[in-house]
Chain A
Amino acid sequence: MTFPGLFNYWVVIALMMVGFYVVIAQGNLIKKVVGLNIFQVSVFVFYISISKVKGGSAPILSEGIALYGNPLPHVLILTAIVVGVATMALALALVVRIQDAYGTVEEDEIREREEAS
């Protein structure tokens, strides 16, 4: 019974590994932002999977339901998603400014230009 019980964590870890790999191995800054996004979603899925209670329902009070999911992680992730998109916009703005200043968004080319100047 360990396999279905821990499967959610393993999916999260797989997602996180993909995002992490994109962030540290790819040179393109936009791709890095996408990688950070994947990383972020993996953390969201982790929190939401923690909040799940077997047999529970969505945390909206109504008659005849005794068991609810845990509302606390929902609150945290709800705000985190919107904050995430706002900070992603900030990161993309930085990338655009880098493109303005260096004429490229590839990390190694930026480094070359730094050393050349």
Chain B
Amino acid sequence: MSHIAVLRVVSKLLIPVILLFALYVQFHGDFGPGGGFQAGVIFGSGFILYALIFGTAVARRVVPAAITRIALAAGVLLYGGVGVAGIVLGGQYLDYSVLADDALAGQHLGIALIEFGVGLTVAAAMITIFYVFAGQDRGPEDAEQ
């Protein structure tokens, strides 16, 4: 069982770094390589690593499946909502320039919000799909035990 202990310790050290790195990629995407898609994928795989090592039951307690489903929809809604906000403030759909007083600042704000929506959706989609796949064989196993 010692190799499992090694895995647990190493992943306990690494997972916070992976999740932090995902957030860095999310919010630093304007300046270096990165953005919502990458951050969502990295966050999702970091969390899947956690679920693989500590078991899906623990992972489900940390992030319940209902929350990932809500986040899945919330990301899409945030993206669409930014577009509608552009209309309300007098621009066109997905026109970020009207979001702030200054066109460049508005663009910045709009891109940040949209990337956040994308990241939220992608991470939630990955975790949801993983939960569904991992939750499949629970039925028969429970019956056997």
Interface on A for B, CB 8 Å cutoff? Answer: 58, 60, 78-79, 81-82, 85-86, 89, 92-93, 96
Q: Given A86-B129, A89-B129, A96-B136, A78–B32 Cβ distance below 8 Å?
A: no
The CA of A60 and the CA of B31, in the complex, are separated in Å by: 7
Contact B132–A93 (Cβ < 8 Å): yes
- Which 3 A-B residue pairings sit nearest by Cβ, starting from the closest? A89-B129, A82-B37, A78-B37
Interface residues on B, range: 10 to 19
B41 interface residue per 8 A CB criterion:
yes
Within the complex, the shortest CB–CB distance from B145 to chain A, in Å, comes to 21
> Interface SS of chain A: helix, strand, loop or mixed?
helix
CA distance in complex: A81, B38 (Å): 10
Contact A82 B33 (CB under 8 A): no
A–B pairs, 9, beta carbons within 8 Å: A58-B33, A60-B32, A78-B37, A78-B38, A82-B37, A85-B126, A86-B125, A89-B129, A92-B133
Q: Does the CB pair A82–B129 fall under 8 Å?
A: no
**A residues within 8 A CB of B126?**
85
Q: How far is the CB of B120 from chain A (nearest CB, A)?
A: 13
- Do A79 and B37 have beta carbons less than 8 Å apart? yes
B46 contact set on A, CB distance < 8 A: none
Chain B residues with CB under 8 Å of chain A are 31-33, 35, 37-38, 40-41, 122, 125-126, 129, 132-133, 136
Extra contacts besides A60-B31, A79-B37, A82-B41 (15): CB < 8 Å:
A58-B33, A60-B32, A60-B33, A78-B37, A78-B38, A82-B37, A82-B122, A85-B41, A86-B129, A89-B133, A92-B133, A93-B132, A93-B133, A96-B133, A96-B136
Nearest-neighbour CB distance to chain A for B71, whole angstroms, equals 15
Q: How far is the CA of A47 from the CA of B14 in the complex (A)?
A: 34
Chain B residue with the shortest CB-CB distance to A61? B31
A89 and B131 alpha carbons, distance in the complex (Å): 12
Residues of B close to A82: CB separation below 8 A: 37, 40-41, 122
In the complex, chain B residues whose CB is within 8 Å of the CB of A78: 35, 37-38
Q: How far is the CA of A86 from the CA of B40 in the complex (A)?
A: 12
Q: CA A79 – CA B38 in complex, angstroms?
A: 9
Chain A minimum-CB-distance residue to B31: A60
A48 → B minimal CB distance (Å)? 14
Q: How far is the CB of B96 from chain A (nearest CB, A)?
A: 17
- A49 to B58, alpha carbons, bound, how many Å? 43
Give A95 Cβ to nearest chain B Cβ, in Å. 11
CB distance from B129 to the nearest CB of A (A): 4
